[in-house]
Amino acid sequence: MPATSLADWLRSASDDTLATLLRSRRDLATPPPADSTVLATRAGTAGSVARACEDLDTATLAVLETLLVAGADTAAVTRRDVAGLVRTDVGGALDRLRARALVWGDDDALNVAPGAREVFGPYPAGLGASVPALAAADMDAVLTELGEDERSLLDTLAAGPPIGRTRDAATDVPPERTDTPVRRLLARGLLLRHDDQTVELPRELGIALRGGATFPPESLVEPELPTNPHQQSSVDEVAAGEAMELLRQLESLLRTWSLTPPPVLKSGGLGVRELRRLARDLEVDETRATLLAELAVGAGLAADSQESSPEWVPTTLTDSWLASAPPERWVTLARAWLELPRLPGLAGRRDAKDKPLLPLAEDLRRPLAPAFRRRVLDSLGELPSGAGVKSVDELVAVLAWRMPRRGGRLRDDTVRWTMAEAAAIGVTGMGALTSAAAALLAGDRHGAANAMADAMPKPVAHVLVQADLTVVAPGPLEPALAGEIAAVADVESAGHATVYRVTESSVRRALDTGRTAGELHELFGTRSATPVPQSLTYLIDDVARRHGRLRGGNAGSFLRCDDEVLLAEVLGNQVAREYDLRRIAPTVLISSLPLAEVLDGLREAGFAPAAEGPDGRIVDLRPSGRRVPARSRQARPVASEPGTISPEQVASVVEHVRAGDRAAGSRRGRVVRLPGGGGADTSATLALLTEATRRQRQVWIGFVDSNGTASQRVVTPVRVGGGILEGEGRERYPLHRITSAALVED
């Protein structure tokens, strides 16, 4: 059967086939192709073919490469030819390739776009050039005659690529000198010489060395993914424990950054020194500290202050997050991780300039990370309930087989990072997906929170006070109780049972917040399931007795004057109340406001104050010049993955292509063209369109759309006027965009 062009094949395909093609290859729909010829040209480009191959598995790609080996990009081949080279059924693979228009034609005339050879390189399937003389040879006999060293060399080249570098390929060696395997093989025509240092294994010999197939049969079967069966409840409980630890550590991070915010580097990100300090304060490794910092910023709980000396500071969302129940807090973090367009696992590696990649830096930004993360979790969701993968490396192998051309050089590392981060966050447990994570992936935030609440240990309302002044929380404390205990005791060890220690400094800290000794006694007396030791009572009373004897307060400025009468006059003036002036000594007044504001107010009230420096000399507080706010730094734009195409958009593009095909295939009469290829109207064009409207004749038009794309249409006009041609299908064409018109001949 003669070969059919891709344009003809698309033109004869059903609308459903075109819709499937546009959904699987979204780049073909933008901008909408004018007709099937334009669609075919676009689908055959190397860039579009490469994108279409990203979602194909190893077996399907093997069939496509085998088609290239058979020369389907230059002449049609049969399904039998391909099956004979692959040595397995190729029906399913051909269906998938046809759905993406990577292959077209019937089983006895299969074709491949020429652009595919650019995608797979000069050696598809890792095989070299064909040598017709070897096609008729008995390859079994040829292989039997090979020596051990010759067979070893050929096996190496047969594994691919078929090119080898050797000095034995030089042409100035006498024919009788065949003392090396390369020279003997060259002499027998079993190797091809490219130049004095390069040889190539012929395609026929490479296929024979592979057992008569283009690919080893085992490579075309998806690797098994061994799993361990678990109870789903056990998986959820293990993950809930990790989630509780994550929440505790992130709370500690936010408290640390509230007190001592780390600086933002000039190049962006968190410095190595600050990362190590954070890891030391949280008692975690740097990988965990990086993940916590990325989650805090990704969830909006911390941000760049964007000041003249920017720092990483908790945001106003922190307080509401801390006040939420633990399951809700976990959902916030888990969602932020799922949607995080960054790869925290890259931190610590080095870039092309050998500089370390830092947490929170723009270098870690990868817009496709959320899609890849979801892909890994979806693969876990396909397993039976509670089933966990035995080895992450086995999961890496399975995902690499399913999409070998997606993910780039970080493909396998990203799977490992995702599994490690998912376990640390509580999205997985024992290698299995949790119930909460499954609900979150399905978009059910409420269900995810409920599932995590069921798995988390129930909050307890009591503690165990020990004689050594330690306080044991036998589980997660109720939020109110946890706050009270944290105010009066320090965490000594965390886990499912948290141990606090009460010290003199921790009691003093509680008294500094306004709590009294009586309130502390009542706290331990009512919330401790064990008797309160006498040593704790003595400690609280002793610290409270000495607390607050020496007091201090805030003062923004002071006024001093040897004339007590003048100070009394100031205190009696309205300005004293407006500027919060009060006497702390016979000759000293203080205010909580800055000195410049106080002096301005006194001057307006009729006084004549002066400002003095630390040494008592008069100083000038007037501004020295104009000030402007510090400008925030702009992030570099990063390309993102194209969005999905809606059913309405697909239907519109299909109709656009069909209309272009009808126009291209119609017989036209005399063509009337507008001057200059479009622009000004002419009487001839209007007369033709008016006649077509009166006689209800179809008219062929060429026009340029708003994107500047030229196309053709066949229209049955119903009205011409107001600069618009309106068709019977309610379509409207501005006359100034019509470049040519002609009546359609019957």
* Residue-wise DSSP of 643-688: PP--HHHHHHHHHHHHHHHHHHHS-B-S-EE-GGGSSS--HHHHHH
Using the 8-state DSSP alphabet, how is residue 82 labeled?
Answer: H
Looking at the structure, give the CATH architecture of the domain made up of residues 6-126. Orthogonal Bundle (1.10)
Residue 357: what pLDDT?
92
Q: Which residues in 449-460 are b (16+ Cβ under 10 Å) and which e?
A: bbbbbebbeebb
- pLDDT for residue 177: 56
Would you place residue 30 in the very low, low, confident or very high pLDDT band (cuts 50, 70, 90)? confident
679: left (phi over 0), alpha (psi -120 to 50) or beta: left
DSSP SS3 for 738: strand
The mean per-residue pLDDT over the stretch 17-30 comes to: 91
**Contact (CB, 8 A) for 86 and 215:** yes
| Confidence (pLDDT) at 671 | 58
C-alpha 124/C-alpha 63 separation (Å) is 11
Percent pLDDT > 90 in the chain is: 49
> Which secondary structure element, helix H or strand E, spans residue 59, and what is its range?
helix 58-69
Most confident of 297-306, 394-403, 609-618, 628-637: 394-403
Taking residues 675-697, what's their average pLDDT? 65
DSSP state of 730: S
Whether residue 447 has pLDDT greater than 90? yes
Range of lowest pLDDT (143-157, 252-266, 388-402, 649-663): 649-663
Q: How many helices (H) and strands (E) does the chain have?
A: 32, 27
pLDDT score at 124? 92
Decide if 706 contacts 682 (C-beta within 8 A): no
Average pLDDT on 546-569 reads 83
Global pTM?
0.75
Cα 29-31-35 angle, rounded to 5 deg = 75
Q: Are 715 and 731 in contact (CB under 8 A)?
A: yes
Model confidence at 142, pLDDT cuts 50, 70, 90, reads confident
Q: What is the rounded average pLDDT for all residues in the chain?
A: 86
The CATH class for the domain spanning 666-743 reads: mainly beta
Could you report the per-residue pLDDT of 619-652, keeping only the tens digit for each?
Answer: 766 654 433 233 333 333 333 344 578 888 888 8
| Banded model confidence at residue 669, pLDDT cuts 50, 70, 90 | low
DSSP state of 489: -
Q: Which residue has the tokens 């099956």?
A: 83
User: Would you say residue 613 has pLDDT above 90?
Assistant: no
Closest to 734 measured CA to CA, from 744, 743, 725, 721: 725
Mean pLDDT of 549-558: 75
Distance between CA atoms of 28 and 642, rounded to whole angstroms? 12
Which segment of 168-182, 211-225, 246-260, 402-416 scores lowest on mean pLDDT? 168-182
In angstroms, the CA 424 to CA 434 distance is 13
Alpha carbon 278 to chain centroid distance? 25
Q: Which neighbouring-strand residues pair with 304?
A: 312
Please report the pLDDT score of residue 174 as a whole number: 58
β partners of residue 582:
590
Residues in a beta bridge with 714 = 700
Q: Are 529 and 462 in contact (CB under 8 A)?
A: yes
**Which pLDDT score, from 0 to 100, does residue 396 have?**
96
Predicted confidence at residue 740, as pLDDT, reads: 78
Question: Residue 682: its pLDDT value, please?
Answer: 60
pLDDT at residue 427, rounded to an integer: 97
Beta strands in 503-574 (DSSP E): 557-560
pLDDT band at 175 (very low <50, low <70, confident <90, very high): low
pLDDT at residue 289 tops 90: yes
- Range of weakest confidence among 137-146, 338-347, 702-711: 702-711
- Higher-confidence residue: 729 or 6? 6
Long-range contacts of 354-359 (CB under 8 A, 24+ apart): 356/272, 358/265, 358/267, 358/268, 358/269, 358/270, 358/271, 358/272, 358/275, 359/269, 359/270, 359/275, 359/289, 359/290, 359/293, 359/294
Residue 34, pLDDT > 90, answer no
Per the model's pLDDT, the better-predicted residue between 715 and 685 turns out to be 715
Query: Strands 672-673, 198-200: parallel, antiparallel or unpaired by DSSP?
Result: unpaired
What residue ranges do the domains of the chain occupy? 6-126, 132-213, 227-455, 464-546, 557-609, 666-743
Check pLDDT > 50 for residue 570: yes
What is d(CA 527, CA 55) in angstroms, rounded to the nearest whole number?
A: 59
Mean of pLDDT values over 356-375 = 94
**pLDDT band at residue 728, thresholds of 50, 70 and 90?**
confident
Q: How far apart are CA 656 and CA 32, in angstroms?
A: 7
Residue 3 Cα distances to 9, 43, 68, 111, angstroms: 10, 18, 16, 7
Tokens 């106080």 belong to residue = 598
- Angle, helices 232-259 vs 326-338, to 10°: value is 90
What per-residue confidence (pLDDT) applies to 622?
62
Pairing of strands 470-473, 498-501: antiparallel
- pLDDT interval class at 698 (50, 70, 90): confident
Handedness of CA 112, 114, 119, 120 (dihedral sign): positive
Measure the CA–CA gap between 601 and 573, rounded to whole angstroms: 11
Least confident of 192-206, 223-237, 481-495, 675-689: 675-689
Q: Give the alpha-carbon dihedral of 648, 649, 650, 654, to 10 degrees.
A: 100
What distance in Å separates the CA atoms of residue 326 and residue 243, rounded to the nearest whole number? 9
